[in-house]
Every structure is written in C-alpha cells, then in structure tokens.
Amino acid sequence: MSAATRRTWPAIPVAILLAACDREFSATPPAGPQAERISGLTGYLAWTGTAVFLAVVAFLLYALWRGRRRAENAAGPAAERTLTLWVGGAVAVTTLILAVTLVLNFQTGRALAEFAEPDALVIRVTGHQWWWQVDYQDPDYSRRFTTANEIHIPVGRRVRVEVQSRDVIHSFWAPNLHGKVDLIPGYTATTYLRADRPGVYHGRCAEYCGMQHARMDFRVIAEPPEKFAAWYEGQLKSATPPADSVRQAGRQVFLSKGCALCHTVRGTPAGSRVGPDLTHLATRRTIAAGTLPNTRGHLGGWVSDPQKIKPGAKMPPNQLAPNELHALLGYLESLK
Amino acid sequence: MSSTEAQVTAGLLDAEGRAEMERTWDDGPGLRGWLRATDHKSVAKRYVATAFLFFVLGGVEALVMRVQLARPENGLVDPELYNQLFTMHGTTMMFLFGVPVQLAMAIYLVPLMVGTRNIAFPRLNAFGYWVYLIGGLLLYSGFVLNTGPDGGWFNYVPLSGPQYSPGKRIDVWAQTVTFTEIAALVAAVELIVTVLKQRAPGMSLNRLPLYVWAVLVTAFVVLFAMPSVALASMMLALDRLVGTHFFNPAEGGDPLLWQHLFWFFGHPEVYIMFIPATGFVSEIIPVFARRKIFGHTALVLALVATGFLSFGLWVHHMFTTGLPQLGQSFFTAASLMIAIPSGVQVFCWIATLWAGRPRFDTPLLFVLGFIVLFTLGGITGVMVASVPFDQQAHDTHFVVAHLHYVQIGAFVFPLFAAFYYWFPKITGRMLSEALGKWNFWLFFIGVNVTFFPLHFLGLMGMTRRVYTYLPETGWGPLNFVATVGAFTIAASALLFVANVFRSLRRGAPAGDDPWGSHTLEWGTSSPPPAYNYLHIPVVQGLYPLWERTPDRPVVTGMGTERREVLLTTVLDAEPDAVYQHPGPSEAPLLAALAVGVTFVGGIFTTWAFVVGPALLFPALLRWFWTQERHEGPRTEGEEPA
Amino acid sequence: MSPERTRLDVSALPKVVFGHRSLLWWGTLGFAVIEGFTLLLMVASYFYLRTNELAWPPGRTPNPDLLVPTINTVLLLLVIVPMRAADRAAKRFDRRGVARGLLVATALTVGVAVLRWFELLALNVRWDAHGYASVAWGVVVLHATLVAVDVFETATLGVLFASGKARKKHFPDASDAADYQYFLSAVWVPLYFIVYWGPRLL
C-alpha cells in the first residue's frame, strides 16, 4: 500500500465533516512525516476498532434474536462446550489483535523517536501564561533572536524544538506536524518537526494552564528555504527608528507610558522580557496569542483594554489620550 | 399444638421473638433516630440519595458548559466561571458521585447478599457517610461563595500551587478530596471485613455472588489507590499552607511527582466505579436471561485481574510528559492487556444471553446499552493506550468522548440497571416499566448524540478545558449537536427522577422476589426488616434461591436481645463465633463534625489541627463506651473482666 | 405446612474470640495496610525527589544527627515488650496484667512522642528549606501522627482495664492494640534507616 493511500484512510470519516472548515485550522491532514506516521497508525486503530465493535454488536444482537425465539434454555454439556469454544475463540482473536496493535505501536513509536538529527535548526519555545516565547538558537550569538507566537520554519528541513516553561505546565501541539509535548517547569523536553509542504499550521496549548488556556494559540509557518532565510535576516535586525513625527511620538508613548516595563523593542531602551518581544510585531498575523487578527483596530482595542478581550491576561489596561493611542498604533504598525 | 409442629418450630422464632428482633435492631424514631442510625440500609439509602443529588448538580454544570460551547465565541459564562465549572463537574462526578455511589450501593447490598444482619463496624459506616456529606457541602459552599476550585479535577501543580493559585479555591478542593478519601477508605475496610467474616454459613468463597466478588476486588483497589491521592493532596495542602516544597521545581521538588501520585490513584479510581458495575451486570444478566451465568470462574478471574492491572496503567495519562520510552512501552502493554479481562467479561455475558431466553425489562435494556457503549469506549481506550496516537489525542475532545463512553456506558448504565433491578427490594414497589423504557432510550440516544461527535472534534484539534473557540476552527456544528444530545440526557434523568417519585407513592407492590432472582436478598421481604433475616439462611449453592432444598435450612440459637451477628471462617464460611454489634449512636456524627472542624478549619488556621483532634477525642470516647444498651441479663463477654 | 426446616444451632459458639477470628482484628489489619501503604508512597516520593538532586542532602544542608533518632528507635522497639505482656495477659483474661502492660506501654509511647520532636530537630533542616527537607519531615511527621493516635488508644484501653470498668469482651481489643503496636514499631525501622542513614549512603 502506498504512503498516499495510507495517509487517506483515517481521513475518510473525518474528511466529510471537515469539508466546510478552514484548512489552516484543520488538524487532520498531516503535513510532516511524524504526523503522517501517526495518522497511518490512527487509521489502523480506527478501522480495526470499528470492525471489532461491529462484530461484538452483531454477536449481541444475534444472541438476543436467537434467545427470544427459544422455548428452552440451551443447557447441558454440549451447549456449554459450544459456548466455551466461541468465548475462547473470541478471547484468542482479541488477544491476537491486541498483540498486533502492540507491535505496530512500538514500530511507530520507534520511528518517531529516530527522527532526531544533529544539524537541525534549533528553536527554543517557552510557555508563558498565556503566550509563547520563541527563541531562534544559533552557535553564533549574533544570529539569535526572540519573537512570539509565530514559528517560521523552512520546508523540508528538520527543526529541533526545545520546550520549557517558566510558570505552569503547558503543552506544545501543532497537530498537522506532530503529537504534543508537555512543557514542565524544571524540565526541558525536545521534539522534532519537519514540514513537507509550505503552509500555515495552527497550534495551541493542550494542557490546562489557567484562566486563558483557551486563548494560547500559535502558528507554525512553513516557507520555502529562501523565503525563510529572508524572514530570518529581517528578524535579526533591530527596529528601524521611526521617520515621521507621529511615529516618533508613538515611540515616546511606548517608552514612557508603561509598555516598556514589560516589552522589548530591540534598538530602543525597551528591553524587558516579561511580555512578548515586539521588535517585529507588524510582521505577525495575529495578536494576543492567536486571539485577534493583527489589524490597527484590534490592536487599538487590545492596547486599551486587554481584560475585555482576554480576561485574566497579564497585560493591564492602558488609559491613553486619543492622540497618544493614535501615535502608539502608528508606531506599532511600523515595527516590520 | 401437636408434637410434630413443636418439633418443627423448635429453635425458630415466634411472633414474640420477631417483635423483640424489631425492638433490638430498630435505630429509634424521628430526627434523633435518623441522626443516630447505624443500620446499613438507612445509611446506604441516604448515601445513594446524596450521591444522586451530586450527580444532578454535576449534570447541571455539564449543561451550562455545553451551552457555552454550543457556538463559537459564546458569552454565556466567563473563563473564570467556566474553569470552575469543569473543575466542579469532574470533582463532583469522580469524588462525590462515582466512587461514593458505588460504595453506597455495596453498603446496601453486600450485607443482604452475604446473608448477615448489618455491615461490619456499623458506626464507622455512619461516620463515613457524615464525613462524605461534609466534604460535599464544603465543595459546594465554596462554589456558592465564589471560592470554587478552578484547577481541574486533576489539579496539576504548579498551577494549583501557592504561587499560581493564591486564595482558598484549591484548598477547598484538597480538603474535599480528603473527606471523600476518608469516607471511601472506611467503607472499603467495612466491606472487606463483612465479606470475609460475616457471610452466611455455607457461602464458601466459591459460592460468593459475582457482585460481591466485584465489591471485594473494588474495596482492595480502594485500599491501595486512595492513600496515594490522600498523600498527594496532603502534600499540596502543606505546600500551600506551611511552605513545603514537595512540588516546587525551584527548590528540589517536582511537579511530576504530583502527576505520578495522582494518577496512581486516578486510574484505579475509574475501576473503582467500573468493577462493581460489572458486578451489577453479572447479577442482572442471569436473572433476565433466565439461566445461570456462563463462565463464573472466568468472570471471577477477570475481576481479580482487572483489579491488579488497574495499578499498571497510570502512566498512560502522562504519555506527553516525555518519560523514557521503555517505561512508556510497559504501560502501553499493560493498558492493552486490561482489554483482555474486559473482553472475557463481555463475551461471557453475550454467551449467557445467547444460551438463555432474554426478557427485555428495563434492567436488561440498560445492561444491553452498557455492553454497546462500553465496547465502544473500550476500543477508543485501546486507541489512546497507543503512545503515538495519544500524543495527538491527549487532552483533546477525543479523550472527552472516550472517557464519557466509559464512565457513562460502563458505570452509569449498569448503575441505572441496578436502580431498576433493586428498587423493588429497597422500597417494596416497582418502578414504572413504561417510563423506564423512555428513560433508557432517551439516555442511550442522548449519550451517543452528545459524545460521538466529540471523537471527531478531538481529531479536528479541539483541546479540552477551553471556554471558547474561534469561528474559523469549524468546530461549531458538531459542538451544537453535542449540546442537543446533552439536553436529551438531562430529559432522561428528569424522567428517572419522576419515575422514582411516582413509584414511591403508587408503584405496584413488588413482593419478595418480583424478578425470579437467585441471590439471598430476594428471599427476605421488600423492603427488608432492620435485621435483614429473621433467621440467617444456610447457603447451599452458588445460586442460593434457585438451588435451595425444600427444607430451607436456617441458623438458630442466636440472641434476640442484643444485635448479634454470626462470624464465619474466611474461606469456607463455617460458623465460628457470635459477635455483638453496637447500637445506634450520635457519636459517629460528632466525630465526623470534629474531623470537619479539623480539615475545614485547617484551610484558615493551623490551630484547627489542635482544636479538631481535641474535639474528636471525647466523640471517640462516646463512640466506644456506649456500644450497646445494657438491659436484661448479661451475656457472655459482658461480665466484668 | 412447609416441610421441616433444617436448623443449624449456633448457640454454643463463643462470643469472645481473638486474632483472625475477631472482627476488630480484621479492621485493624485493614487500617494498618492503608497506613503502611501511605508510608510506602511517602518513601517512594523520597526516592523520587532524590533523583532530582546531585547531592543528598542537597547543597550545604548537613546530614541528620543519629543520636536521638537511634535512642528513640530503640525506645519504640522496647514498647513491644510491655505490649507483648498485655497481649498474653489478655489471652488468659488477666485484667491486672493487661492494665499493667498497657500503662507501661503508654508511658513509653509518650516518651517516644516527646523524643519525636527532638528527632525532627535532628534532621538539621527546616521543612520549608527545599524538597529534601519537606519529604524527610513528611516521613517522620506522618509516622508521628500514627504514634499520637496510638498513645490515645493505648492510654484509653489502659485506663479502662485499670479502672475495673472493662468487660470480658474487651480483652480482644487489648490484643488487637498490641498487634497494631507491633506494626507501628516494625514499620519505623526501615523509615529510620532511610531518613537518618539514607543521606549518608544515597
């Protein structure tokens, strides 16, 4: 059986249901080798399970149908022997199916574990209540940088993701690429990813982590290598100083009205690591860990009152005069 | 009176003897009698009723959550309340409904089924109920006073630790758990001792009814599972209250220690609810198939194997924590292996139906529903036991679907079967069959409509414990279907409640044995008298009522002025001694209140750990120094030492 | 007229029995199993946390002292002697013997409880210092809770027998109390080695 058919069988029942929904959010079509491997196993489990289920229900219904029409119990040693044979056979078949399942599980598990590669791209992901800090690692310190909630990776290259948490337990899960891995304080866990097709893959926190666990999403953006390289170079740069007066005023608001207490914009005095790094905020698709699209309107609403959008988020409301807000938004939009 | 009649009745109790038994075993009238009651049936009835009330409350919480999730970005509840709701729902269903209702059913049924007059340690039994009640009241008082726990029923650290959950919410959870553990542990000890030492003569272990076997295995599982969560919740309370560092990774503690201890309890807990449920099924099927069960010995071995294996599965809740692969393989194998005893049971039940003449009354309908739902839940269980698949499915709605199929299918359905089956024995009246069939079909359809779509939502990436989701996810339609299903289940539960109230007032009289059953309890009146059996029956086979000889042998020579029970030997149930049970007392309630002061007060001040025990001591003195009413002549054992 | 019912007359059975023939003995055994298993899980937690540290005790925490814990362990084992005497006296229904045994055992157990405080000090670290400290305190305090309960039980029974209010059926209770005491003393020995010698060896 070809890899392509194997990939499709678990998807059959699900595909119908998924027809209407946005591809970016769909967890089912695998886009990387591990997700594909797991998907194949899922297919085996789902179809074997369905067969076993139908067999048991069929036997049950047949037993009831037979019994209803009978005037006398089936009794006596011969009847007992027949029953023993049937039950014994059923147990033997169950055991056999379980044994095969076990072997397939181990095979898949081993294949997933052997995916490690020494010269992979290394990304460190740190979970926070309720956003993702993303640090691109490089032996050359000048080629490291920090971003948040969006992970760009080059298509076809293996990526080593080292996950950790500084507060509570989170779980890193991009279902199209691989299964989840927990971020446990005091531990660093490692997982490998590879996307074989370009695309934007949705990910989210899978371990309950407090009030806004529901709004702790991230995206994995798989791009052709040259596009990824360009993005990487862009992210390495500090923020470009604003040219016009409105944005300069906006930068002043950023530095003086509290934003800088938590956020970093490289190239400015703002260097705090409490909240997400905003150096290239304008290049991101969403704000507040996938809660809202990154538009001027949403950004304004978020900056003014994050508690209204994401109650419990660690960012306080900011009471800014209309012109200050206008200037600040202009500045944030310029952080490309 | 002719001489032959005198010979026949010699040693048997006459009307006067019966009247004296009534007096001796009566717990007393009115509120005072109610508060002092130690009759296992009285205690069990209030235990079941309380647990069912919590079941309804947990169900209402589920309904609110389902409405919130019916469409994307719904604003019915805010995240703060939603997180409390799923914590309350899980905690209620597991700690205040699931385990207690199973132990309560066992407290009612086991003494009757083994043919004794009361449960071993009846005062401890009453104490267990009061402690459980205090635990439930604590949790719901906290919730009403906006101090409801919000850490999930699994309550992972460090989220539930002092740093990330200040305030008293988590403490309320931890102490609720403490109360329910105490209640479960004392019930387990009582049940084990009742089964081992108080069986009717002749009921050797190979004649033990399957339900009693199931309870025995369950009680042992409780004995080894509950200490783990007791210890974990105690460590958590200490971390929060006095600054220990059991779970603090910054100071040499470890958050995974919590997960190990919690799931070492948490997985067996599922079996604490499931094993007695299979016992119900094994009792009900032969009665409604009108033949003896097929594979009695295999079923007993399956129960015992399930009990043992239930302790080898806990790590399958931790497959995403990055544990070493070898360890994970072991737990995958164990998790798959437990499917074998479950398969043996299902096949034996089907074989019994196959060879019998099934009669489709409501108890059997619920049992058949159980077989279907449990098979499906068991198969998804085999799926999540696979580490690679679980890395995708873990903490998604796939697991929500799986666990509800297992919990509702394999525990609530048999429980309802048991309600319909034993209700006539407990109340003396039949439940309505017509309402019962509506009850069953609405429930069965509702469960499938609610939970089957959740499998797909899980595969589509919908995680658990989210208070909302974005419209672009495409999860809306299936969630809406699930919500409709949830209301179907609610309608079914309402019908059940209506059926109970209707039948209590004007249900058809049941008689001693409306179903043609085979276990001992159907040989006494419905409802049974306070002393259960005027004469303790002598058991002659595995199916005592189906196999008894015309001379219907009974035990004679036991006193009627004291609460005497017969002790028999552990294996062969040979009569060994006569033991006097204590009478009714308010001491268990007082002791429970003292324990309540200790742990509820402990949330606020460590002084409670001085005051509470100080109050407990006089309550215990009262407990042990007022064992019986000292009327009439002293019998052996009551003379001064 | 139903056929004659076969009767199994139990009026000659004893009402006061000891050991596994008695109900309370099984109850005591049940609770000993629960408590023993809780202690075992605490010890498992101790070794689990051990794996997170390079040194044990971690950092500059000193090893626990040995003197007081060793004395107290011996004392706790000594309680077995009067308890054994009470046990034997109970089985021959000797009221004074039981009273004497129980009261001596109570006095010794009170001594154990008092020394237990110094035993905690001998850990040389406060419970809130780090994981090691918490779990070491945890083991000792958990066992101390059982000792405290035991003191009350033994004392109450002792007073009951000494005051002459005891009845014949209380003798098995004294015997069960002795069995519980054996458990309590025996289970401490491995705990003592783990908590007080362990840091030197692990």
pLDDT per position as a tens digit, A245-260: 999 999 999 999 999 9
Instruction: Report how far Cα B322 is from the mean position of its chain's Cα atoms.
Output: 34
**Among B77, B316, B386, which would you mutate to test the A interface (most chain A Cβ atoms within 10 Å of its Cβ)?**
B386
Radius of gyration (Cα) for chain B, nearest Å?
25
- Given a contact cutoff of 8 angstroms between Cβ atoms, the answer to whether B349 and A90 are in contact is no
Q: Burial of B343 by CB count in 10 Å (0-12 exposed, 13-18 middle, 19+ buried)?
A: buried
Angle between the B255-289 and B296-309 helix axes, to the nearest 10 degrees?
170
Give the strand order in the sheet containing A189-193: A145-148, A131-136, A121-128, A159-165, A189-193
C2 pLDDT band, cuts 50/70/90, is low
Task: Tell me phi and psi for residue A24, to 5 degrees.
Answer: -60, -30
CB contact (8 A) between residue C23 and residue B121: yes
CB contact (8 A) between residue B325 and residue A20: no
3-state secondary structure of C30: helix
Q: Among B404, B476, B465, which residue's Cα sits nearest to residue A207?
A: B465
Which residues are CB-contacts of C78 (< 8 A; sequence separation ≥ 6)?
Answer: C108
**Among B4, B124, B196, B251, which would you mutate to test the C interface (most chain C Cβ atoms within 10 Å of its Cβ)?**
B251
3-state secondary structure of B554: strand
Cα distances (Å, whole numbers) of residue B121 to B107, B532, C17? 11, 16, 16
Radius of gyration (Cα) for chain C, nearest Å?
22
* C49 contact B CB<8A: yes
pLDDT tens for residues B475-488? Answer: 999 999 999 999 99
- Given a contact cutoff of 8 angstroms between Cβ atoms, the answer to whether B413 and B369 are in contact is yes
Q: Which residue has the tokens 């999930």?
A: B152
Instruction: Report how far Cα A297 is from the mean position of its chain's Cα atoms.
Output: 27
pLDDT tens for residues A166-178? Answer: 899 999 999 999 9
- End-to-end CA separation in angstroms for chain A: 47
- End-to-end CA separation in angstroms for chain B: 44
**Overall average pLDDT of the A134-147 stretch:** 96
Q: What is the mean pLDDT of chain B?
A: 94
Task: Fill in the DSSP letter of residue B515.
Answer: T
Q: Is the ipTM of this complex over 0.85?
A: yes
Least confident window among A13-27, A119-133, B186-200, B536-550: A13-27
A18 pLDDT band, cuts 50/70/90, is very low
Does B573 have pLDDT greater than 80? yes
Element (H, E) at A286: strand A286-287
**Among C1, C8, C91, which would you mutate to test the B interface (most chain B Cβ atoms within 10 Å of its Cβ)?**
C8
- What pLDDT does B610 receive? 92
- Given a contact cutoff of 8 angstroms between Cβ atoms, the answer to whether B224 and B311 are in contact is yes
Task: Fill in the DSSP letter of residue B96.
Answer: I
The beta-strand segments (E) located in A55-174 are 121-128, 131-136, 145-148, 150-154, 159-165, 170-173
**Overall average pLDDT of the B161-189 stretch:** 96
* B351 contact A CB<8A: yes
How far does the CA of residue B63 sit from the closest CA of chain A (Å)? 19
Does C88 have pLDDT greater than 50? yes
- What pLDDT does B323 receive? 81
Does C104 have pLDDT greater than 90? yes
CA atoms of B586 and B28, how far apart (whole Å): 12
**Overall average pLDDT of the B51-74 stretch:** 98
Give the Cα-Cα-Cα angle A114, A118, A124 (nearest 5 degrees). 95
CB contact (8 A) between residue B392 and residue A42: yes
Q: Among B447, B592, B406, B432, which residue's Cα sits nearest to residue B500?
A: B432
Q: Report the percentage of chain A scoring pLDDT > 90.
A: 81
Which residues are CB-contacts of B585 (< 8 A; sequence separation ≥ 6)?
Answer: B36, B38, B123, B126, B622, B623, B626
Neighbours of B81 (CB within 10 A): 18
3-state secondary structure of B566: strand
pLDDT tens for residues B464-511? Answer: 999 999 999 999 999 999 999 999 999 999 999 999 999 999 999 999
CA atoms of C193 and C200, how far apart (whole Å): 10
CA atoms of B73 and B277, how far apart (whole Å): 39
**Overall average pLDDT of the A290-296 stretch:** 95
CA atoms of B123 and B129, how far apart (whole Å): 10
pLDDT tens for residues B313-337? Answer: 888 889 898 887 777 888 899 899 9
Does A1 have pLDDT greater than 50? no
Residue A263 token pair: 């956020």
Residue C26 token pair: 């099984």
- End-to-end CA separation in angstroms for chain C: 78
Instruction: Please give the torsion angle defined by the CA atoms of residues B268, B269, B271 and B276, in that order, rounded to the nearest 10 degrees.
Output: 140
- Which residues 23-82 of A are in CB contact (within 8 Å) with B? 24-28, 35, 37-38, 41-42, 45-46, 49, 52-53, 56-57, 59-60, 62-64, 66-68, 70-75, 79-80
Q: Which residue has the tokens 């970093």?
A: A264
CA atoms of C11 and B613, how far apart (whole Å): 41
Does B637 have pLDDT greater than 80? no
Task: Tell me phi and psi for residue C183, to 5 degrees.
Answer: -60, -45
* B83, B328, B395: residue with CB nearest A171: B395
CA atoms of A42 and A37, how far apart (whole Å): 9
Residue B220 token pair: 């042992």
Q: Which residue has the tokens 């392509």?
A: A4
Task: Fill in the DSSP letter of residue B311.
Answer: G
pLDDT tens for residues A192-219? Answer: 999 999 999 999 999 999 999 999 999 9
